[in-house]
Homo-oligomer: A and B are copies of this chain.
């Protein structure tokens, strides 16, 4: 069964997916904000400033690319978020078993 199309996701699954997605996003943003505050409190010279700048550029690029809520890529996104620790498997409870097992399998790749 395909899992990569909007019609393969029930309304209940879509709600669960959206909540999990937003939660992971919030967590990652909160971590970036925390890191930026820490880094900026220790800035002493120009090199520190540009290191913070590089860090922000990299995070922005990565976050912009990663949080893609198209159903065609969503199980890949969830696998990455699980692998990186922004999402926990129990937050995907309520998704069909085939989706969950595909996501788990992808986290190992």
Query: Which residues does A use to contact B, with CB under 8 Å?
Result: 29, 32-33, 36-37, 40-41, 43-46, 48-50, 52-53, 56-57, 59-60
Return the contact of A49 from the options B29, B44, B49, B50 (Cβ within 8 A).
Answer: B29
Which of A40, A50, A57 has the most C-beta atoms of chain B within 10 angstroms of its own C-beta? A40
How many copies of this protein are present in the complex? 2
Selected A-B contacts with CB under 8 Å, 6 pairs: A29-B49, A36-B43, A36-B49, A40-B41, A50-B56, A53-B57
A45 smallest CB distance to B (angstroms): 7
A33-B43, A53-B60 provided; 15 other pairs, C-beta below 8 A? Answer: A29-B45, A32-B49, A33-B44, A36-B49, A37-B40, A37-B41, A37-B43, A40-B40, A49-B56, A49-B60, A50-B56, A50-B60, A52-B56, A53-B57, A57-B57
